[in-house]
């Protein structure tokens, strides 16, 4: 900002005053009493548009006679040496001018006047060079100019100096007008009348004019303030408009770049606030609609292709299709009684053709007609089959008695005969041979009702909807985006794919499978601990092998009149339930993605287990 001295109205002497002073000076070397009298009676004049009035300089009236001439001469010499040329009646110039009227001192006084004028001109030039850094310099220049106009206007060097002063004074008047325009809010950014035009006129007169430069800075600041006001109203297009105009005022200053960066930062912060608010709204009632409102707000104020809008849109899409989860995410829920649920994997929403196409080897009419099933939301599927340890936690927490426990027997594999036989004192705590099972094995010897009871317990413990999958959900998860007979393609599975019947498998008694995948061996006879083999594209293990699994559907001999969506096909009181997915003892055709079978809901044996799903 300007110093106090530079903010005062300019008191410039107009050209008409300078001309009047020249007339006064014309008699300086003739009738000096007449010149002095004219100087004393010079009229006051109005300067420019400032309404400020100044008077031409008048030489102070100093009486000289024989009694004081020497003393005045000494005083004049001392003032000359001290550089006090025209400050007051003790300065060298008025003293020497008075002494010129005293004949004995005329020659000495004339020389003193010349030295005083030369000194004052030099002093004034130095002050003129300092007017942009010294607040008092312009006052000294104006005073010197007013004196020189009276005593030396006819000298070329003085005329050149006065012309410089006139340019300064004109620039001051232009700057005053510019400041007045700024005060009225007329910046002149459109190139017409206004503050900027006046400041540029001042700079055209004198390129170093600090007052005009500061005026341009103030005009630039005014435009930046307009940009900031527009940004505060989230009118960022308007803000850029004002910044572009401000950039033209002082392109070399770099101030606009700082303002643009500041507004961009604040804009990004605002967009970030809206994104965070949208994300926070998603789990709330009607949160998706609220989040979409925030997204619309972001799109109104964000730059083109801003990644924040894309991020919130993606989160909204996820909320629509996955709740608070993301596809591929693994998670567990806490149980009220301690412990956690099985690990769940979020599989993506989409659609698929359910069933077997015509001509697929091993397919039956039970797998037709094919139909398109669409999933509007993702689904969480347990990564592995439910284990003995997990089912044990359920039984211990609830005292539940499984069907095989109450009945006192189940069906196991007999090593000697190679057949499945009924065996007493076998329940969910036992393996495929009827021996105590380790906790990491998939639980078998459970009925469809046992599996449903476990899922219901998880739902009660967590407050989330755990359940058995529907047939459509199971096949969708099993296929994992494939359309081939098997989830891995066709023919023999790749090594490590799962626990299937392979020609290379051997039982503890040395038996082999009569109907098996040629050239395949998985190193197991009977169910394997869960998660031992490679996960599928969705991150799930053992969907096509290890143990067959209960689903929620009642058995129907075909898909005629089946639901067109992912819901389970349930008839009240149905006795038969559906099994999906091959087991460690299944023929290759039963490992196909479309394979399905029906059996009594109370069935328990060493080949059947289950897994759970959770709604998102």
pLDDT in tens, 50-71: 334 445 899 999 999 999 999 9
Q: How far apart are CA 324 and CA 205, in angstroms?
A: 68
Question: Buried b vs exposed e over 120-138: b needs ≥16 C-beta within 10 Å?
Answer: bbebbbebbeebbebeebb
- Its CATH class, for the domain covering 344-386+445-614, is alpha beta
CA distances from 33 to 66, 85, 100, 117, 184 (A): 18, 21, 11, 19, 50
Which residues lie below 8 Å from residue 616, measured CB to CB, with a gap of 6+? 322, 323, 324, 325, 346, 377, 378, 379, 380
Confidence (pLDDT) at 5: 37
Query: Which of 540, 556, 542 lies closest to 591 in space, CA to CA?
Result: 542
First to last CA, the chain: 63
Which comes out higher in pLDDT, residue 384 or 2? 384
What are the tokens at 31?
A: 């009738």
pLDDT digits (tens, 9 = 90+) for 355-398: 999 999 999 999 999 999 999 999 999 999 999 999 999 999 99
Confidence (pLDDT) at 191: 85
Q: How many CA atoms lie within 13 A of 254 on its CB side?
A: 0
* Residue 598 three-state SS: strand
What are the tokens at 194?
A: 């206004």
| Banded model confidence at residue 137, pLDDT cuts 50, 70, 90 | very high
pLDDT digits (tens, 9 = 90+) for 164-174: 999 999 999 99
Which comes out higher in pLDDT, residue 24 or 274? 274
Q: What is the 3-state secondary structure (H, E, C) of 517-564?
A: ECCCCCCCCCCCCCCCCCCCCCCCCCCCCCCEEEEEEECCCCCCCCCC
- Report the pLDDT averaged over residues 583-590: 97
pLDDT digits (tens, 9 = 90+) for 312-356: 999 999 899 998 899 999 999 999 999 999 999 999 999 999 999
pLDDT digits (tens, 9 = 90+) for 239-251: 999 999 999 999 9
Q: How far apart are CA 132 and CA 186, in angstroms?
A: 25
Residues above pLDDT 70, as percent of the chain: 91
| Banded model confidence at residue 274, pLDDT cuts 50, 70, 90 | very high
pLDDT digits (tens, 9 = 90+) for 142-181: 999 999 999 999 999 999 999 999 999 999 999 999 999 9
Confidence (pLDDT) at 6: 37
* Residue 344 three-state SS: strand
Q: How far apart are CA 400 and CA 449, in angstroms?
A: 12
Q: How far apart are CA 15 and CA 50, in angstroms?
A: 15
* Residue 42 three-state SS: coil
Which residues lie below 8 Å from residue 596, measured CB to CB, with a gap of 6+? 366, 367, 471, 578, 579, 580
13 pLDDT above the threshold of 90: no
Place of tokens 């009047």: 20
215 pLDDT above the threshold of 70: yes
- Report the pLDDT averaged over residues 184-191: 93
- Are 46 and 84 in contact by the 8 Å Cβ rule? The answer is no
Which residues lie below 8 Å from residue 458, measured CB to CB, with a gap of 6+? 333, 335, 341, 464, 466, 612, 614
Bridge-based pairing of strands 344-347 and 330-331 is: antiparallel
22 pLDDT above the threshold of 70: no
494 pLDDT above the threshold of 80: yes
Confidence (pLDDT) at 548: 98
Q: What are the residues facing 596 on neighbouring strands? A: 580
> Which of 42-51, 158-167, 182-191, 595-604 has the weakest average pLDDT?
42-51
Its pTM stands at: 0.65
Bridge-based pairing of strands 608-609 and 409-413 is: unpaired
Average of per-residue pLDDT values in the chain: 90
Confidence (pLDDT) at 324: 84
Confidence (pLDDT) at 74: 97
Q: How far apart are CA 176 and CA 170, in angstroms?
A: 10
- Are 145 and 165 in contact by the 8 Å Cβ rule? The answer is yes
> Which regions of the chain carry the CATH code 3.90.1580.10?
344-386+445-614
Place of tokens 């284990």: 387
278 pLDDT above the threshold of 70: yes
- Are 263 and 236 in contact by the 8 Å Cβ rule? The answer is yes
Query: Which of 527, 532, 508 lies closest to 441 in space, CA to CA?
Result: 527
411 pLDDT above the threshold of 70: yes
- Are 511 and 434 in contact by the 8 Å Cβ rule? The answer is no
Query: What is the DSSP secondary structure assignment for residue 41, as one 8-state letter?
Result: T
Residues above pLDDT 90, as percent of the chain: 88
- Report the pLDDT averaged over residues 562-590: 96
């Amino acid at each position: 900002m300007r110093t106090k001295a530079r903010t005062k109205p300019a008191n410039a002497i107009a050209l008409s005053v300078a001309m009047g002073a020249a007339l006064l000076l014309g008699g300086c070397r003739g009738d000096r009493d007449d010149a002095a009298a004219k100087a004393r009676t010079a009229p006051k004049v109005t300067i420019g548009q400032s309404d400020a009035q100044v008077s031409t300089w008048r030489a102070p009236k100093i009486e000289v006679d024989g009694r004081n001439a020497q003393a005045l001469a000494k005083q004049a010499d001392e003032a000359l040496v001290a550089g006090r040329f025209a400050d007051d009646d003790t300065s060298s110039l008025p003293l020497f001018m008075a002494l010129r009227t005293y004949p004995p001192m005329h020659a000495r006084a004339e020389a003193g006047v010349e030295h005083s004028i030369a000194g004052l001109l030099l002093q004034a030039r130095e002050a003129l060079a300092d007017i942009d850094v010294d607040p008092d310099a312009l006052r000294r220049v104006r005073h010197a100019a007013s004196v020189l106009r009276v005593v030396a206007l006819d000298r070329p060097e003085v005329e050149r100096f006065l012309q410089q002063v006139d340019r300064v004074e004109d620039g001051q008047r232009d700057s005053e007008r510019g400041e007045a325009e700024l005060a009225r809010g007329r910046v002149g950014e459109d190139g017409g009348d206004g503050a900027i035009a006046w400041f540029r006129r001042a700079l055209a007169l004198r390129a170093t004019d600090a007052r005009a430069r500061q005026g341009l800075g103030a005009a630039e600041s005014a435009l930046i303030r307009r940009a900031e006001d527009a940004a505060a109203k989230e009118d960022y297009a308007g803000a850029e408009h004002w910044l572009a105009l401000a950039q033209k005022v002082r392109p070399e200053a770099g101030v606009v770049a700082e303002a643009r960066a500041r507004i961009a930062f604040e804009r990004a912060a605002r967009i970030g606030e809206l994104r965070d608010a949208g994300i926070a709204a998603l789990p709330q009632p009607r949160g998706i609609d609220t989040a979409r409102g925030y997204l619309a707000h972001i799109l109104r104020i964000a730059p083109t292709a801003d990644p924040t809008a894309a991020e919130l849109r993606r989160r909204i899409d996820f909320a629509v299709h996955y709740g608070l989860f993301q596809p591929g995410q693994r998670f567990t829920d806490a149980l009220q009684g301690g412990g956690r649920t099985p690990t769940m994997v979020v599989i993506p929403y989409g659609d698929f053709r359910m069933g077997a196409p015509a001509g697929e080897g091993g397919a039956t009419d039970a797998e037709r007609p094919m139909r398109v099933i669409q999933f509007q939301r993702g689904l969480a599927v347990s990564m592995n089959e439910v284990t003995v340890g997990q089912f044990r936690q359920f039984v211990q927490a609830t005292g539940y008695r499984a069907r095989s426990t109450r009945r006192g027997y189940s069906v196991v594999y007999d090593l000697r005969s190679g057949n499945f036989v009924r065996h007493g004192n076998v329940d969910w705590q036992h393996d495929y041979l009827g021996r105590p099972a380790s906790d990491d094995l998939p639980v078998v010897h459970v009925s469809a009702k046992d599996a449903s009871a476990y899922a219901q317990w998880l739902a009660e413990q967590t407050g989330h909807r755990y359940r058995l999958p529907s047939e459509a959900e199971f096949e969708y998860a099993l296929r994992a985006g494939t359309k081939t007979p098997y989830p891995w393609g066709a023919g023999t599975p790749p090594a490590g794919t799962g626990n299937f019947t392979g020609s290379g498998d051997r039982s503890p008694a040395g038996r082999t499978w009569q109907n098996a995948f040629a050239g395949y061996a998985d190193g197991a006879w009977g169910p394997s601990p869960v998660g031992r083999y490679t996960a599928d594209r969705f991150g799930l293990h053992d969907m096509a092998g290890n143990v067959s699994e209960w689903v929620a559907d009642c058995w129907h001999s075909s898909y005629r009149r089946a639901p067109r969506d992912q819901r389970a096909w349930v008839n009240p009181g149905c006795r038969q339930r559906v099994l999906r997915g091959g087991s460690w003892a299944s023929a290759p055709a039963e490992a196909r993605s479309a394979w399905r079978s029906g059996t009594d809901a109370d069935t328990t044996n060493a080949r059947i287990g289950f897994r759970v799903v959770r709604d998102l």
